[in-house]
Amino acid sequence: MQRLYRKRIILGVGGGIAAYKSAELVRRLKDQGAEVRVVMTQGGREFITPLTLQALSGHPVHLDLLDPAAEAAMGHIELARWADLVLIAPATADLMARLAQGVANDLLTTLVLATDAPVALAPAMNQAMWRDPATLANVELLRSRGLKMFGPASGSQACGDVGLGRMLEADDLVHLAADCFEHLALTGKHVLITAGPTQENIDPVRYITNHSSGKMGFALAEAAVEAGAKVTLISGPVHLATPDRVTRIDVVSARDMLAACEAAMPCDILIAAAAVADYRPEVVAQHKLKKDPNSGDGLLLQMVRNPDILATLAQRDDRPFSVGFAAETENLLEYASRKLKDKNLDLIVANDVANPSIGFNSEDNAITIIDRGLQQSSFAQTSKGKIARQLVSFIAAQQPKS
């Protein structure tokens, strides 16, 4: 059931007595790690209160299409884009008829028209209404358009009848919702990624850094999310937008980055793409250093070693699957292989930063992956986004099968 982990589900609640089951459905979806937003029709509000579903989902319930406050917070188009799945439970005969005709006269029907996400309906109605030719025709029309039907089940109904038309139970709906999603390669994994440069202060004005843009690390974070992972991205100072669904922690120095990584542990996979400064000034001046007329043209800085973040994390008792980067300007594979062994890594990713087309600040990359057995796998030059997806797929293939 990890397929629902971090999935965004809109639960539409129609106006039927089965709406009382929606509260349990929200709980079950959240138990599986899904994020749930509830949209209620006017009829749904007659059977269960929005406050109940707000308390269970942890989010305000969306009620009206033309509510100015709701539109200001998360408009109906943005809500439609947000969803990975729209699940309507209960779906009444009236609601299904309006959906079949493309009517958009309330928030829920408008969302269904506006979303690109899969839409699933859990029918709930009297057995005679379910058997009516108009209802059956609407069901076939909706199915032909790609909407999924979850049920109905057969059983006793609120009116006293027995037959098809009863809404499925919450656990059944959760399993069917999970089936809407492919089991992604890193589903259920926590991936910790470092990105960008670090900055080591000389004085309040100046610092030592490098040319890393952070683009590779951010692309990896996006690719890991696409593969179903929970992603924590710890970044040095960069000018990049945070990828969707990524928890980002901004740091400055190497020691800041190590502390943030340790606080984010444990994780299943560590991808250390950051270009961490090996050294820092031993003493940081409290005030801006001024030119000394008696010192000639030079300035002497005493440097000390920074902690080795990757080696420190790869030596832990709860060590994750550890992937490092070797950005080199010469002897690429030799230096990368040495780093793999010295830092106790599972994989090392070597790239030639002397080549400006694949170096720091470039849009492209080309890499060679070396494993513990010193086997090499090379990926030709392409965009960093594509390289990131290739690398994440490679890492996923190394994970034990659950």
Report the alpha-carbon distance of residue 274 to residue 278 in Å, rounded: 12
Q: What does the alpha-carbon distance between residue 304 and residue 278 come to, in Å, rounded to a whole number? A: 8
Helix 133-144 / helix 93-100 crossing angle, nearest 10 deg = 50
Give the chain's largest Cα–Cα span: 100
Residue 159 appears among annotated catalytic residues: yes
**Residues 342, 268: Cα–Cα separation, whole Å:** 21
Q: How far is CA 130 from CA 98, 137, 166, in A?
A: 15, 10, 10
Q: Using CB atoms within 10 Å of the CB of residue 21, give its burial: 0 to 12 exposed, 13 to 18 middle, 19+ buried.
A: buried
For the chain, helix, strand, coil in percent to 5 are 35, 25, 40
Q: Are strands 200-201 and 303-305 parallel, antiparallel or unpaired?
A: unpaired
Tokens of 71: 């539109």
DSSP calls for 209-264: -----SHHHHHHHHHHHHTT-EEEEEE-S---PPPTTEEEEE--SHHHHHHHHHHH
CB 331, CB 182: distance < 8 Å:
no
Phi, psi of 8 (to 5 degrees): -100, 115
* Cα gap 178→7, rounded to integer Å: 9
Nearest residue to 41 via CA among 14, 6, 73, 79: 14
User: What is the C-alpha to C-alpha distance for residues 376 and 281, in angstroms, rounded to an integer?
Assistant: 37
Going by C-alpha positions, the residue among 236, 344, 255 that lies closest to residue 304 is: 255
* Strand ranges (E), 85-139: 85-91, 119-123
Q: Catalytic site residues?
A: 159
